[in-house]
């Protein structure tokens, strides 16, 4: 079974540009999550999709970040315009059951974003 | 506020010796508890989790963790360390009862270094 995949693995852009990150969850997982780790600090929650709906977007830092999951399969996270403080590693995770029963979230390899 | 503390940025252990990576948490009620590991240039891998029942949880690669409710701790342990265990380890919690308990709260990570 394929795990969570993310594309690209690395992205280097200049301040003010736009970047779109993609995440493909494990097949059959309705729940998809975005997290990020900035400057070696804690990994922070960004948002949670259940199928195509945003269940919890309390972690999104500001309106420069837009996440979508059209069709309830893969998800994209767009940063427009990118700022220096957006640099970090963006992780995607998926899970089968969501909030019940201590459901395990399985993580992808992450996208390392560098904003110059 | 919910939080996870990993008091040691780095733990150094000789191969063959037992290892412990410490984790304490501050979450109301009885949270779900997790350990994840990140090997170099890889994503986060799930190691083990505590949901309920036996306080000693066994996970992948010979790791185990002990839930201690009175001390609000969930230390990761292994009886005999391997050089291949060298990686970055994250402790994490999820609220069991919050209605939108989707987010995982991570500690800052502990770098485990096993010397031959």
Per-residue pLDDT of chain A (116 residues; tens, 9 = 90+): 679 999 999 999 999 999 999 999 999 899 999 999 998 788 999 999 999 999 889 999 999 999 999 888 999 999 999 999 999 999 999 998 765 556 889 999 999 999 99
Give the tokens for residue B10: 């780095």
Q: Is the pLDDT score of B72 beyond 90?
A: yes
In a domain, A111, yes or no: no
Domain residues for the domain of A65 are: 17-97
Question: A47: domain CATH number?
Answer: 2.60.40.10
Question: How far, in Å, CA of A43 to CA of B109, rounded?
Answer: 9
Measured between alpha carbons, how far apart are the two ends of chain B, in Å? 41
Place of tokens 């839930």: B67
Confidence of residue B50 (pLDDT cuts 50, 70, 90): very high
Contact B105, B93 (CB under 8 A): yes
Contact B113, B12 (CB under 8 A): yes
Contact B19, B85 (CB under 8 A): yes
Question: How far, in Å, CA of A113 to CA of A103, rounded?
Answer: 28
Question: How far, in Å, CA of A17 to CA of B23, rounded?
Answer: 39
Encode pLDDT of B8-30 as tens digits: 999 999 999 999 999 999 987 77
In a domain, A112, yes or no: no
Find the radius of gyration of the CA atoms of chain B. 14
In a domain, A114, yes or no: no
Question: How far, in Å, CA of A20 to CA of B51, rounded?
Answer: 36
In chain B, pLDDT over 90 holds for what percent of residues? 72
Number of domains present in the structure of chain A: 1
Question: How far, in Å, CA of A11 to CA of A2, rounded?
Answer: 23
| B91 contacts on A by Cβ (under 8 Å) | none
| Residue B37 burial by Cβ neighbours in a 10 Å radius (0-12, 13-18, 19+) | buried
Q: What pLDDT, on the 0 to 100 scale, is given for residue B52?
A: 85
Q: What pLDDT, on the 0 to 100 scale, is given for residue A98?
A: 62
Where in chain B are the domains? Answer: 3-115
The fold for domain B3-115 equals: Immunoglobulin-like (2.60.40)
Question: Which of A43, A47, A91 to mutate to test binding with chain B, by most B CBs within 10 Å of its CB?
Answer: A43
Q: Is the pLDDT score of B101 beyond 90?
A: no
Interface contact B22, partner A, CB < 8 A? no
Contact B113, B13 (CB under 8 A): yes
Question: Which of B102, B104, B105, B109 to mutate to test binding with chain A, by most A CBs within 10 Å of its CB?
Answer: B102
Measured in angstroms, the CA of A1 and the nearest CA of chain B are apart by 15
In a domain, A103, yes or no: no
């Amino acid at each position: 079974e394929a795990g969570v995949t993310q594309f690209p693995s690395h992205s280097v852009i200049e301040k003010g540009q736009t970047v779109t990150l993609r995440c493909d969850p494990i097949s059959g997982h309705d729940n998809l999550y975005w997290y990020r780790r900035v400057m070696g600090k804690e990994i922070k929650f960004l948002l949670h999709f259940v199928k195509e709906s945003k269940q919890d977007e309390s972690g999104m830092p500001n309106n420069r970040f837009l996440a979508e999951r059209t069709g309830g399969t893969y998800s994209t996270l767009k940063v427009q315009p990118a700022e220096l403080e957006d640099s970090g590693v963006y992780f995607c995770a998926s899970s089968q059951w969501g909030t019940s029963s201590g459901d395990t979230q399985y993580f992808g390899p992450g996208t390392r974003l560098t904003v110059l | 506020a919910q939080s996870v503390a990993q008091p040691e940025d780095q733990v150094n252990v000789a191969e063959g010796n037992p290892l412990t990576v410490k984790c304490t948490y501050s979450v109301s009620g009885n949270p779900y508890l997790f350990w994840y590991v990140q090997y170099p240039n890889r994503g986060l891998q799930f190691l083990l989790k505590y949901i309920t029942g036996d306080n000693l949880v066994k996970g992948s690669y010979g790791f185990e963790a002990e839930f201690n409710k009175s001390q609000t701790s969930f230390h990761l342990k292994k009886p005999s360390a391997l050089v291949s265990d060298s990686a970055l380890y994250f402790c994490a919690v999820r609220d069991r009862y919050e209605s939108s308990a989707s987010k995982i709260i991570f500690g800052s990570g502990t770098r485990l270094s096993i010397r031959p």
